[in-house]
Amino acid sequence: MSIPSRPRPSNAVTFRSGIGPRIEPIQVAPPKRGQVSVQIRATGVCHSDLHIVNGDWPADKPLVLGHEAAGVVTATGPEVDGVAVGDHVVLSWFAPCGNCLNCAAGRAWLCTGTKALENTLPDGSTAYADAKDGPLWPYLGLGTFTHTVVVPESAVIPVPRELPFEVGALLGCSITTGVGAVVNTAKVPVGSSAVVIGCGGVGLSIVMGLRLIGANPIIAVDLSDEKLAKAAQLGATVTLQPDQTDVPSYLQHHYGGVDFAFEAIGRVPTIESLPAMLAGGGTAVLVGMAAAGVRASFDPFELADQGKSILGCNYGSSVAKIEIPKLANLYLAGLLPLDQLIGQVRPLGEAAAALDDLSRGIGLRSILIPS
């Protein structure tokens, strides 16, 4: 155990109803029982941060943004025994409670006891305060767009020291979600055909997962030529621009439909087009998170008649404690080129510009470095 005794001044990227993202000074309390302080060395800019900033997901409290990060443990509270000061770690945004029935069943991504989705620490508190001593809440229980976070031990996953922090950051969300969608949610068999709609950080990770397990063909679809070029480099065998090609017709014409169709945008029209891309018996996987409250519709006769399925996928159906070290080791063994996902590496102060680039589909995954 190693506990600094008083709150530390820092800076963070915050969002409060309609204001932000902006940098402001914050105070970070020392870790309490079961909590760990981690110095953030790299943090990714994910569409789930953008969902907050653009109002897709209403934020009911002032937040420290960011939920995809890696760093070094700097202090531990009482009763922390799984990590120690100096450990290199990836943070998991879905810190499981460890006690609910889903945790007991090994489905940590469906934990019903987690407070992460309420943007608090497990005890309902926050370690962050603003300059007026008002609470700032950790987005998805982490709030990583800052220098030092205080998080529950269950969110802290030790990884090998050789793992670059930028890769570790992306393992915290997009990679684990995308590769997990292939291997855990859909359990894609070798030789299956698959299409990936949307090739951002999550979609490109799906392409990598499909390549890893030996899917063929792998068809990547995106509006951006840059994303399609990267998808081809990572294993896509065909790339399609949806504004030039009618994707369902193309897939039916060339392959009789595909076995698996992954949607990694969270956009209703693309979600609704998935069944028409599938062969009979095929499976659509909803990986992209839609805006709160939207509805999509499907032809139930076609789904029943053709034996097509639709699967929901949260966090790649991953138990972070198991999947993140596994994926880190696949990268270190040269079997999963995760560093290829890294786009612009920029200082924390450029968070707003990075989110703006993300909203316009510019560039690969941005990484912020708190200096």
| Among residues 35, 48, 273, 318, the one that binds Zn ion under rule CB under 5 A | 48
Closest CA to 72 of 174, 175, 168, 3: 168
Does position 63 interact with Zn ion (CB under 5 A)? The reply is no
Binding mask 8-47 for Zn ion (x = CB under 5 A): --------------------------------------x-
Catalytic residue list contains 48: yes
Q: Which is nearer to ligand APR, 264 or 319 (CB)?
A: 264
For ligand APR, the binding residue among 20, 198, 248, 257 (CB under 6 A) is: 198
Determine how β-strand 8-16 pairs with β-strand 309-312. unpaired
Considering beta carbons, is residue 69 or 80 the nearer one to Zn ion?
Answer: 69
- 48, 154, 192, 318: which is the annotated catalytic residue? 48
Looking at 62, 203, 257, 370, which residue binds ligand APR (CB under 6 A)? 203
DSSP-assigned states of every residue in 154-204: GGEEE--TTS-HHHHHHHTTHHHHHHHIIIIIS-PPTT--EEEE--SHHHH
- State which of positions 7-26 bind ligand APR (CB under 6 A): none
Whole-number Cα distances in Å, 168 to 46, 51, 121, 163:
14, 22, 22, 7
Instruction: Decide whether 52 or 219 has the Cβ nearer to Zn ion.
Output: 52
Strand partners, 136: 128
Query: Is residue 318 within 8 Å of 109, Cβ to Cβ?
Result: yes
Helix axes 225-234, 201-213, angle to 10 degrees: 20
- CA dist 97 and 88 (Å) reads 22
201 binds ligand APR (CB under 6 A): yes
Which residue type occupies 34?
G
Where b means 16+ CB within 10 Å and e means fewer, 254-263 reads ebebbbbbbb
When binding is defined by CB under 5 A, the residue of 173, 196, 206, 261 that contacts Zn ion is: 173
Q: Which residues pair with residue 137 across a beta bridge?
A: 63
Task: State yes or no: is 147 an active-site residue.
Answer: no
Binding flag, residue 52, Zn ion (CB under 5 A)? no
Q: Pick one of ligand APR, Zn ion, none as the site partner of residue 203 (Cβ within 5 to 8 A by kind).
A: ligand APR
Amino acid (one-letter) located at 338: L
* Least distance between ligand APR and beta carbon 2 (Å): 34
Q: Which residues contribute to the site for Zn ion (CB under 5 A)? A: 46, 48, 173
Q: Which residues contribute to the site for ligand APR (CB under 6 A)? A: 46-48, 51, 174, 177, 197-203, 221-224, 227, 242, 264-267, 270, 287-289, 358, 361
Which residues have a catalytic role annotated? 46, 48, 51, 67, 173
